[in-house]
Structure 1
Amino acid sequence: MEPTTPTPAAPGHPVIFLGAGPGDPELITLKGRRLLDTADLVVYAGSLVNPALLDGIQAKCHDSAAMNLDSIMDLLAQGYRQGLRVIRLHTGDPSIYGAIREQMQWLDQAAIPYEVVPGVSSAFAAAAALRRELTVPEVTQTVILTRQAGRTPVPERESLRHLARIQATMCIFLSVAMISRVVDDLLAGGYGPDTPVAVVERASWPDEQILQGTLTDIAARVQASRIKKTAMIVVGPALAEDSRIASKLYDAGFSHEYR
């Protein structure tokens, strides 16, 4: 039997999945700011979205913190069918732990068009707060974005223990409440006890907090702090302050096609 084709939805503006950035309202893209300012309906991801982003906009705003998938999607679909400019506002960049896959699949089934507008990830806001480059020549040229297994499982092949063998820079999302397990797995995977690590809570927000240490002491530092969630763990040799290795990009003796 031939697969059935969804019945086209009523004409309207495509639903926009928009990355709000890490927190600082000035770290939304110019396109994102324009779309918010002209929106009619915004469904935003609860307290993770800085309310300053919504100040003064004309749209009717709904907090999705207490809503399930169906209620969120029904709201988006209703707005679309009414011809409204609809935005689903996510934090950071929606492609990383944004839970947009199931939302896009729902819209596909309903034949409702949508677009994704990227945002600044909290991983990069954390690097900026630390004033560190995540890739350092001859040290690491790889950045891993991952999380510790918890209520949401992680494939065993992607466990921190396995990923640690690469010795790259690792940005670990959604895991600070399990910091002791994170440290144990990173050490078991091959990072040395003196590997530098930082925890950045609420990167780019006014109450941003940074803890720095090594795998030997970072768990105790976190446990002694008020940090419980919304924090990024960054670990790897690229964080070492004493590295003096420089890129060859601007080396006068280095031939190159692009600079």
Structure 2
Amino acid sequence: MKVYFVGAGPGDPELLTLKAYKLLKSADCVIFPGSLINKEILKITKGDLYDSSKMCLEELITVMEKYIKKTKKVVRLVSGDPFIYSAIQEQIEILREKNIPYEVIPGISSAMAGAAKMGIELTLPEISNSVIFTRIEGKTSGASSEEIKSFAKTKSTLVFFLSAGLGEKLEKTLLEILPSETPIIIAYKVTQKGEKIIFGNLKDLSKILYKNNIKKTALIYVGETLRTFKENLGKKSKLYNKNFKNGKE
């Protein structure tokens, strides 16, 4: 048996991958992030449930080890996709040391779900060819103000995780590089009950967060590609340009 690190997606149970659904259905033990996960997802499993928000690292490993020794299937459920801000690496390293097999099952990131809800593309010819996922430094680790400013200089579309509670600091930092009218979108509780998609300008970021009482469970998108949420910009790729296809460009 293995420990399966499973991406739960952004919250909507219908956005689970088929593999994630099957593992939840057959799991003997499911460890889930109580403060982040949509509880509707937990109704899929009949396994024993453990809320990781009430556990320390050592307790997590103890539970995993207990079930694996009994040849039971363990699912460590994480919100979104396990490869972004899931804190699974420290768990994986201990499992390796204990020779406990594991597998990571990807999920739909909330960043992708947010863009889908907006109905836009985060990359756009002549405007931005890159997307940067990051978080601003607070009580826990994150990108420093200087790093954030260097990201802003690249003209990439910026997506901030775990930063809604630091809106004033983020706004002030970005305004040192970007114009005050730079488009932003706040995606709150994407695909879940209470979802909000709020368009605005960078200069109003902290005001929007305060007005809507948003302190967590939100993503902050920043960049010129976000204008397409409100208007058509007419930027076209060469991929479907007939002259390019005929070798004339």
Q: Same fold (TM over 0.5)?
A: yes
Please name the residue that 1:25 is paired with: 13
**CA RMSD, 1 decimal:** 1.5
1:110 to 85, 98, 101: 98
Q: 1:179 & 1:47 partners in 2: Cα distance?
A: 21
The structure-2 alpha-carbon separation of the partners of 1:155 and 1:183, relative to structure 1 and needing over 3 Å to count, comes to closer
Please name the residue that 1:4 is paired with: none
Alignment of 1:1-259 (within 5 A): 13-154=1-142, 156=144, 159-188=147-176, 190-241=177-228, 242=231, 243-255=233-245
Q: 1:179 & 1:36 partners in 2: Cα distance?
A: 36
Q: How many angstroms does 1:55 deviate by? A: 0.9
Q: 1:205 & 1:247 partners in 2: Cα distance?
A: 33
Q: 1:250 & 1:119 partners in 2: Cα distance?
A: 30
Structure 2 unaligned runs (5+)?
A: none
1:104-129 Cα distance to aligned partner (Å, 9 max, x none): 01101111010000001111111112
State the SS of the aligned residue for 2:170.
helix
In terms of fraction of residues, the more helix-rich structure is 2
CA contact (8 A) 1:211 1:222 kept: no
CA contact (8 A) 1:202 1:208 kept: yes
Count of aligned pairs between the two proteins: 243
State the SS of the aligned residue for 2:50.
strand
Structure 1 unaligned runs (5+)?
A: 1-12
Please name the residue that 1:8 is paired with: none
The percentage of aligned residue pairs carrying the same residue is: 39
Q: How many angstroms does 1:56 deviate by? A: 4.3
Q: 2:28 & 2:142 partners in 1: Cα distance?
A: 38
TM-score under structure 1 length normalisation: 0.90
